[in-house]
Amino acid sequence: MALAWWQEAVFYQIYPRSFKDSTGNGIGDLQGVIDKLDYLVELGVDAIWLSPFYPSPMNDFGYDISDYTDVDPMFGDLETMDQLIAEAHRRNLKVLIDYVPNHTSDEHAWFQESKGSRDNPKADWYIWKDAKSDGSLPNNWGSIFGGPAWTWNEERQQYYFHQFEPTQPDLNWRNPDVKDAMLDVVRFWLKRGIDGLRMDVVITIWKHPDMPDQPIIEDASGRAENDIFGKQEQIYSMHYDGIHALIREVRDTLDEFEDRVMIGEIWLGLEERLTYYGDGDEFHMPFNFDLLGGTSVVDPKEWSADYVRTSVDRYEDALQTSQWPNYVLGNHDVHRVATRVGEGQARLVAMLLLTLRGTPTIYNGDEIGMINGDITEADIQDPQGKRLGIHMTRDYSRTPTQWDDSDLAGFSPEGTASTWLPITSDYKERNIKAQMSDENSLWTLHQELIAFRKTSPALLSGVYQSFDSPEDTFIYSRQHDDEHLIIALNFNNQEKSIALPLQGEMVMCTHNNSNVVSSDGVVTLEGNQGIVIRVN
Ligand code: GLC
């Protein structure tokens, strides 16, 4: 069966604030994205997903939206976005936007109206509750960003619910008017020509109607004092009965348009996550965060060949034929992959991501192995970091993209006073310009792997099979018709010799080493080296 475009595509996530600043205010913007479309074509990616660019007070850097159908002046305007879509399409790049249905900003006109009284037309568009008779909070629920999930509103003399910041009130999706309005948002952007949606925090949209207290987790040691959320089981607020029907309605709306794709941000264990494919009528791809650690972030101490093989095997076993896999190694919410797995393994995981079965998503900057930014307490911008401490801040993976070795790393025009987050100090050596002209760079490896993948039926659609292999190594094959590839990855930093299950010639290598395959079918991989072999 022919693959759909999103099955063949390599996706690339752009965090617009941090990608490219065209105006000199120290913050990336949509014109910056347009200016770099040729770059993306050269890298070889096929689809971009833009994190939010809508009007927003930027308390959660755009994930707090005050108007779903416009562009924040900081990023450009609707015309810039139209131009971005047109310019991307002219280059055969697809464009996905971030759809944030769980909450708006408290500055959204809907909330402004809603909070005005208990009987205005939008009174029931958000989740309002009276205080308990003793004046205390309506229930024990916590905010993901720390503290309680309820904030008192003087005007209405009621509490409103927010799964995230107090400035991000949750919409009441049980109100049909809210649903209609939010489905119209989907139509608004699809009509403008976007190719799909990445849907934000899907699983919290639908809550228990009575919102009973959540059970407490007995052993929640290691959680910050104010991390009420982290010390509770979210049985009434997440993945709650009824959520699937809602997703199907969003999908039906998407399907009013041809050939679009819907991806879901779903931080759940494997089994629950797979339910979000529905019967082929929910997400085309619920994001697979197994390589990040599934429901949280994998502890670097547990990161190993065995960890990776087990997650991939479990995923492959669990997927039905109609369910298309996908892999993510980094995004704007987690530490940089090069920091998590160690810089030594950046090349190895690039090969992993681009040779597994399913759609890969690359996070901007990971193609040059950007590491966690140099963030001090004083630099923290992220609300999660402000409330839960520096170890929880997501600023580390949001520092400006390092384009070149000029003063502002080519991120902002010369003369710009400062950038919204500090530029990481290694930019003189680690930058896109330098790596593009270096045939041994991580960037070039990405380019080569992507190009190879595009012309390889085995990598695009071949079956996956893993093999037993020595400790710290991971070996799998990909096969389609007469193309048969073996991928051998060494997760140890010492040399490893591996007897290959099948013989062949090496066609790709992470480290430009031409003499790894010996005549008797034993390969000797250097530390952190990976190879692709074409079976004869
Ligand atoms: C998603 C986004 C994250 C944001 C949160 C609230 O998890 O990826 O960045 O803070 O939703 O909208």
Q: Which residues 6+ apart lie within 8 Å of 2 measured at CB?
A: none
Q: Which of 97, 200, 292 to mutate to test the pocket of ligand 1 (most atoms within 8 A of CB)?
A: 200
Residue 333 Cβ < 6 Å to ligand 1: yes
Q: Which of 53, 63, 66, 397 to mutate to test the pocket of ligand 1 (most atoms within 8 A of CB)?
A: 63
pLDDT at 295: 74
DSSP secondary structure string for all residues of 94-162: EEEEEE--SB--TTSHHHHHHTT-SSSTTTTSB-EEPPPTTS--SS--B-TTSSBSEEEETTTTEEEE-
DSSP 522: E
pLDDT at 1: 67
Residue 100 Cβ < 6 Å to ligand 1: yes
Residue 63 Cβ < 6 Å to ligand 1: yes
Residue 33 Cβ < 6 Å to ligand 1: no
Q: Which residue carries 């990161």 as its tokens?
A: 303
State which amino acid sits at residue 208: H
Contact between 507 and 532 (Cβ < 8 Å): yes
The angle at the Cα of 316, spanning 9 to 498, to the nearest 5 degrees, equals: 95
Q: pLDDT tens-digit profile of 162-216?
A: 999 999 999 999 999 999 999 999 999 999 999 999 999 999 999 999 999 999 9
Contact between 397 and 334 (Cβ < 8 Å): yes
pTM of the full predicted structure? 0.97
Q: pLDDT tens-digit profile of 282-296?
A: 999 999 999 998 777
d(CA 145, CA 434): 38
Q: Which residue carries 């029931």 as its tokens?
A: 124
Contact between 316 and 324 (Cβ < 8 Å): no
Residue 262 Cβ < 6 Å to ligand 1: no
Residue 164 Cβ < 6 Å to ligand 1: yes
pLDDT at 223: 87
DSSP secondary structure string for all residues of 233-287: --TTTSS-TTHHHHHHHHHHHHTTSTT-EEEE-----HHHHHGGGTTTTS-SEE-
Residue 164 Cα: closest atom of ligand 1: 6
**Residue of 305, 353, 301 lying closest to 327 (CA atoms):** 353
3 state DSSP class of 187: helix
Q: Which of 333, 334, 363 to mutate to test the pocket of ligand 1 (most atoms within 8 A of CB)?
A: 333
CA of 50 from ligand 1 middle (Å) equals 13
What is the CATH code of the structural domain delimited by 5-103+175-449? 3.20.20.80
d(CA 502, CA 489): 15
DSSP secondary structure string for all residues of 317-361: HH--TT---EEE---TTS--HHHHS-GGGHHHHHHHHHHSSSEEE
Residue 165 Cβ < 6 Å to ligand 1: no
d(CA 345, CA 490): 9
Name the residue at shortest CA distance from atom 4 of ligand 1.
63
CA of 336 from ligand 1 middle (Å) equals 16
Name the residue at shortest CA distance from atom 12 of ligand 1.
63
Residue 200 Cβ < 6 Å to ligand 1: yes
Residue 60 Cβ < 6 Å to ligand 1: yes
Residue 333 Cα: closest atom of ligand 1: 9
Beta bridge partner(s), residue 95: 48
d(CA 238, CA 232): 12
Catalytic site positions: 200, 256
Contact between 114 and 126 (Cβ < 8 Å): yes
CA of 14 from ligand 1 middle (Å) equals 14
DSSP secondary structure string for all residues of 354-414: HHSSSEEEEETTGGGTPPPP---GGG---HHHHHH-GGG-SGGG-SPP---SSTTTTTS-T
DSSP 428: G
Per residue, what are the HEC states of 27-95?
CCCHHHHHHCHHHHHHHCCCEEEECCCCCCCCCCCCCCCCCCCCCCCCCCCHHHHHHHHHHHHHCCCEE
Strands lying side by side in the sheet with 285-286: 285-286, 261-264, 196-199, 94-99, 47-50, 11-14, 359-363, 326-328
CA of 266 from ligand 1 middle (Å) equals 11
Q: pLDDT per position in the chain (536 positions), as tens?
A: 699 999 999 999 999 999 999 999 999 999 999 999 999 999 999 999 999 999 999 999 999 999 999 999 999 999 999 999 999 999 999 999 999 999 999 999 999 999 999 999 999 999 999 999 999 999 999 999 999 999 999 999 999 999 999 999 999 999 999 999 999 999 999 999 999 999 999 999 999 999 999 999 988 888 888 999 999 999 999 999 999 999 999 999 999 999 999 999 999 999 999 999 999 999 999 999 999 987 777 888 899 999 999 999 999 999 999 999 999 999 999 999 999 999 999 999 999 999 999 999 999 999 999 999 999 999 999 999 998 899 999 999 999 999 999 999 999 999 999 999 999 999 999 999 999 999 999 999 999 999 999 999 999 999 999 999 999 999 999 999 999 999 999 999 999 999 988 889 999 999 976 667 676 778 999 999 999 999 98
Residue 201 Cβ < 6 Å to ligand 1: yes
Please report which helix (H) or strand (E) contains residue 484, including its range.
Answer: strand 483-490
CATH fold of the domain at 462-535: Immunoglobulin-like (2.60.40)
d(CA 370, CA 348): 15
Q: What is the residue extent of each domain of the chain?
A: 5-103+175-449, 462-535
pLDDT at 515: 63
The angle at the Cα of 297, spanning 291 to 299, to the nearest 5 degrees, equals: 95
